[in-house]
Amino acid sequence: MSDTPKKLFIKTYGCQMNVYDSERMAEALGAEGYVTTETAEEADMVLLNTCHIREKAAEKVYSDLGRLRPLKQAKPDLKIGVAGCVAQAEGEEIIRRMPMVDLVVGPQAYHRLPDLIRAKGRAVDTEFPAEDKFDHLPERKAMRGPSAFLTVQEGCDKFCAFCVVPYTRGAEVSRPVDRILREARDLVSRGVREITLLGQNVNAYHGEGEGGTWGLGRLIRALAEIDGLARIRYTTSHPNDMDDDLIAAHGDVPALMPYLHLPVQSGSDRILKAMNRKHTAESYLRLIDRIRAARPDILLTSDFIVGFPGETDRDFEDTMDLIRAVGFGAAFSFKYSARPGTPAAERAPVDSQVADDRLQALQALITEQQRRVQAAMVGREVGVLYEKAGRLPGQMVGKSDHLHAVHVEDTAGRVGELVRVRISASAPNSLAGQRLS
Ligand code: SAH
Ligand code: SF4
Ligand code: F3S
């Protein structure tokens, strides 16, 4: 009997939830005798965990599959699987267009991967099964770095006019409180000191817990009780789901880090309405005021789409005004991409060059704000959680409370240590500082 483990290569595209899912799939396949490897060339199975959010992301999958073709020809036993949001959206098409693909599995069917692998012939599973995949995935056993993701909520009922997520991830579902607390305790027992709670609409969390339904604020308060868990973050949130308790938690739970990613997409009420965002620029600004009242030093980041159908110069200026009014620490900004099956895809597009120019102007403004927010950190004392050794000798790299990458002069530092650091300099994408004794 041969005990040589089979090798699995997973490539992950898209959001943090895909990163989390890839870990869970690797663990599920670990129970089937697979160990992960760093290259497709030495793999017995290649899994692409895909993203459908913009056209470019989705097309990348087909070009990557094309690049795997020679490997498959040289090694016919190689199994090729497509998981994630492109699998969910285009499963049948992938099977038709790409004969080299052996299996297609959607985000809600990962627990069935072992069965799909054993299936004779090619297999597709893009169902939204009634059972909870998390109850059927193996426990998380691997040793961990100091920072981990934990999915608490998945799917979206908001149906923003541009977005595929409600179709690829399905309806909003929250995991029960006890499962989350168990997974969190388990992560902490394996060395994790920081947990980022994940959900497509994480602040809409409403899981069953002791005494009824819990919101995200209450869940965070319970997680903060876990001994050894030093830091809690959550992403991604919708402005309309920031309730009073969650805002208050930013003021009174020390483990909840002073950082919030709160996508607004646009600063124009006309466009926000056309996007079906169900909030206005003004309501967003008032919300920011309330959050800052609870936690004055909170660092805010956001997502923006430019060139949404119907966006005029005036609408775009409203977006720039909103950015100026808030002062973001960073932001992701995207040129609108028409996605098949979404309502906005039916509407007349903005001139592509105009959209490019707006994107550039917006990114220049954000970069300037980022520079200013970082410069304001110089001289301050912050917490830094070491994630790895730096490139220079005697240097450690980690994330600050505000999620800045920080290079720290520290000859005795260990990965996983949470230290106090005085910030001394700011570079475009990181800070530098000295450890305080
Ligand atoms: N659930 C998150 C967003 C997930 S998608 C939320 O509601 O905030 C991440 C970001 O991708 C979005 O915030 C949006 O800015 C961008 N995005 C989504 N669909 C897009 C599209 N069709 N074209 C361009 N950007 C898009
Ligand atoms: Fe997409 Fe809107 Fe849902 Fe976010 S809230 S996942 S942007 S539909
Ligand atoms: Fe992409 Fe799916 Fe995440 S579309 S952004 S991988 S939820």
Helix (H), strand (E), coil (C) string for 295-342: CCCCEEEEEEEECCCCCCHHHHHHHHHHHHHHCCCEEEEEECCCCCCC
Half-sphere exposure of 102 (CA within 13 A, CB side): 21
**From CA 149, how far away is CA 184, in angstroms rounded?**
10
Q: Are residues 95 and 175 in the same domain?
A: no
Q: Say yes or no: CB of residue 107 within 6 Å of ligand 3.
A: no
Q: Are residues 152 and 253 in the same domain?
A: yes
Question: Which residue from 223, 219, 216, 221 is spatially nearest to 195, judged by alpha carbons?
Answer: 223
Q: Answer whether the bond into residue 236 is a cis peptide, omega within 30°.
A: yes
Among 56, 303, 304, which is best to mutate for testing ligand 1, by the most ligand atoms less than 8 A from CB? 303
Give the number of the atom of ligand 3 that is nearest the alpha carbon of residue 85: 2
Establish if 306 belongs to a structural domain. no
DSSP H or E segment with residue 77? none
> pTM of the entire structure?
0.96
Sorted by sequence, the CB contacts under 8 Å of residue 426 that are 6+ apart come out as 371, 374, 375, 377, 378, 432
Look at residues 65, 94, 125 and tell me which one is the last residue of a structural domain: 125
Q: What values do phi and psi take at 334, rounded to 5? A: -135, 145
Establish if 238 belongs to a structural domain. yes
Q: How many other CB atoms sit within 10 Å of the CB of residue 268?
A: 24
Q: Are residues 175 and 224 in the same domain?
A: yes
Q: Are residues 151 and 116 in the same domain?
A: no
Establish if 327 belongs to a structural domain. no
Residue 17 Cα to ligand 3 midpoint, Å, equals: 7
Among 151, 305, 352, which is best to mutate for testing ligand 1, by the most ligand atoms less than 8 A from CB? 305
Range of the domain at 108: 6-125
User: What's the start-to-end Cα distance of the chain, in Å?
Assistant: 56
Give nearest CA residue, ligand 3 atom 6: 51
Query: Do residues 204 and 241 make contact, with C-beta atoms less than 8 angstroms apart?
Result: yes
Residue 15 among known ligand-binding residues = yes
| CATH of residue 426 | 2.40.50.140
Look at residues 234, 257, 280 and tell me which one is the last residue of a structural domain: 257
Q: What values do phi and psi take at 309, rounded to 5? A: -50, 130
Residue 185 among known ligand-binding residues = no
Residue 389 Cα to ligand 1 midpoint, Å, equals: 33
Residue 85 among known ligand-binding residues = yes
| CATH of residue 253 | 3.30.750.210
Establish if 289 belongs to a structural domain. no
How would you write the pLDDT of the chain (437 residues) with one tens digit per residue?
A: 456 889 999 999 999 999 999 999 999 999 899 999 999 999 999 999 999 999 999 999 999 999 999 999 999 999 999 999 999 999 999 999 999 999 999 999 999 999 999 888 888 899 888 788 888 888 776 667 899 999 999 999 999 999 999 999 999 999 999 999 999 999 999 999 999 999 999 999 999 999 999 999 999 999 999 999 999 999 999 999 999 999 999 999 999 999 999 999 999 999 999 999 999 999 999 999 999 999 999 999 999 999 999 999 999 999 999 999 999 999 999 999 999 999 999 999 999 999 999 999 999 999 999 999 999 999 999 999 999 999 999 999 999 999 999 999 999 999 999 999 999 999 999 999 999 97
Look at residues 125, 159, 177 and tell me which one is the last residue of a structural domain: 125
Establish if 284 belongs to a structural domain. no
Q: Are residues 19 and 69 in the same domain?
A: yes
3-state secondary structure of 111: helix
Establish if 278 belongs to a structural domain. no
Residue 177 Cα to ligand 2 midpoint, Å, equals: 23
